Structure 1
């Protein structure tokens, strides 16, 4: 059976293990059901997630002109501390920025390859942790806007990492950490304006991913360059498809590609 569709990040269900779905315009694929099956992926064309044109994807699923124009790709997306909607200041589109920035945000600790600090909208818990391939995570601060979350993250980055080592995450080269202890250790470094939002009492969330076999030396598939790839699906973690030959494919990094997926 062959499916054709535009790649966007996989939708997930917080079950044990996590359930993954590739959602296309008129169809969807339950990826968990493809574990152990041979899959062929073929690059068809580009389709910018904003304008829909067949133009090379620049970043985040957008063509270059859209990336530098639309609010969904503004700097404050990746750097929450640059948010200004709480001041009534527009970056690219104040209405959109108010909608996204002026809602509850969580500063969290997640352990995927190591303990790291991150920011997400409250509505995106635990989806954000799943997308990062974290096997455990905990909320440490809940604030009313994105700016406060951003400045808190910046302060805590001096004492804990803020990046995931994707190779270690995919190899499952990880160790369990006591995130409650980490939360208490970092409490003293939360900025003054966010101290009242510290979460005093909660427990860590554990996540289980559908993986039959982890790669020892993961090698990333560049579908735009290779155009076609066939492999046996061995697992799914974060937003990565893991194949038995140690090839891995980051679905989120390939948003904006139209592909054919054939299940043999």
Structure 2
């Protein structure tokens, strides 16, 4: 089986283990059944913007051409630093985008991917967010009416708890044993009173397992920016990573790359 097209980030469905799909152009292929088989990904020396389709020598922010990168609201700095949201200042790049993506309920959460981390996500997108980060456990901490408020809470908590994932430890399965309920109670104590009305009393811990055939001893990153062809036995999938016996490839970072995919049975 083979396919040719522009890559998109991995799609997935919450199940046990998580069910993954590889998206190549307009085609979508279920991956879980292909673990244990050889995959060959050949870069065809072409990239296209995931938003406008423009052919571009260089892509930014996981798949955007430079014009889209500097004009689209979803590429603004406040997306990665939501506490710096400037919608209220009247300088948002796209108010309609803000109203549908930012001025809506968000969760602040605690998750364990390698160690404990704090993060935020749009409400009803939390499962997607947690799987993208390779989380094995997660729990909502608070629900806010806007992304900016969630960002302010996340920023305050990040002074005490990391807001980044160690992706190498995550892929190797080096997961800290963390009591999320206990950490949640500790976090509540450090929050200023003005944020406490947004706190949730949810005790359900969401847990995730991933299609993996074993643990990795070393993590070698593979990218088409260095080699035109990536191949190997697919041994697992976690977060946005295809795990091969020869190394790992972050599919989200290769959004917009045109490739030929071959499966060797």
TM-score, L = length of structure 2: 0.95
SS at match of 1:214: coil
Deviations 1:124-160 (A, max 9, x none): 1111010000111110001111011000001001111
Conserved? CA contact 1:68–1:74, under 8 Å: yes
Conserved? CA contact 1:9–1:239, under 8 Å: yes
Q: What is aligned with 1:125? A: 126
Q: Please show how residues 141-160 of structure 1 align to structure 2 within 5 Å.
A: 141-160=142-161
Q: What is aligned with 2:203? A: 202
Conserved? CA contact 2:140–2:202, under 8 Å: no
Q: What is aligned with 1:76? A: 78
Q: Following the alignment from structure 1 to structure 2, what is the Cα–Cα distance between the partners of residues 32 and 113?
A: 23
Deviations 1:107-127 (A, max 9, x none): 001101110000100121111
Q: What is aligned with 1:3? A: 3
Q: Following the alignment from structure 2 to structure 1, what is the Cα–Cα distance between the partners of residues 25 and 157?
A: 40
Q: Report the CA distance shift for 1:183/1:102 in structure 2 as closer, same or farther (over 3 A).
A: same
**How far did 1:7 drift?**
1.5
SS at match of 1:5: strand
Conserved? CA contact 1:21–1:31, under 8 Å: yes
Q: What is aligned with 1:230? A: 231
Unpaired segments of 5 or more residues in structure 2?
none
Q: Please show how residues 129-140 of structure 1 align to structure 2 within 5 Å.
A: 129-140=130-141
| Bigger shift: residues 116-125 or 193-202 | 193-202
Q: Following the alignment from structure 1 to structure 2, what is the Cα–Cα distance between the partners of residues 90 and 5?
A: 37
Conserved? CA contact 2:73–2:93, under 8 Å: yes
Say if 2:10 is the partner of 1:31. Answer: no
Say if 2:54 is the partner of 1:57. Answer: no
Q: Following the alignment from structure 2 to structure 1, what is the Cα–Cα distance between the partners of residues 42 and 192?
A: 48
Aligned length, in residue pairs: 262
**How far did 1:88 drift?**
6.6
Q: Following the alignment from structure 1 to structure 2, what is the Cα–Cα distance between the partners of residues 116 and 37?
A: 34
RMSD: 1.3
TM-score, L = length of structure 1: 0.95
Q: Following the alignment from structure 1 to structure 2, what is the Cα–Cα distance between the partners of residues 10 and 201?
A: 29
Q: What is aligned with 1:248? A: 248
Unpaired segments of 5 or more residues in structure 1?
none
Q: What is aligned with 2:184? A: 183
Conserved? CA contact 1:5–1:258, under 8 Å: yes
Q: Give every structure 1 segment of 4 or more consecutive aligned residues whose post-TM-superposition deviation is greater than 4 Å.
A: none
Q: What is aligned with 1:171? A: 172
Q: Following the alignment from structure 2 to structure 1, what is the Cα–Cα distance between the partners of residues 185 and 76?
A: 33
Q: Following the alignment from structure 2 to structure 1, what is the Cα–Cα distance between the partners of residues 7 and 76?
A: 21
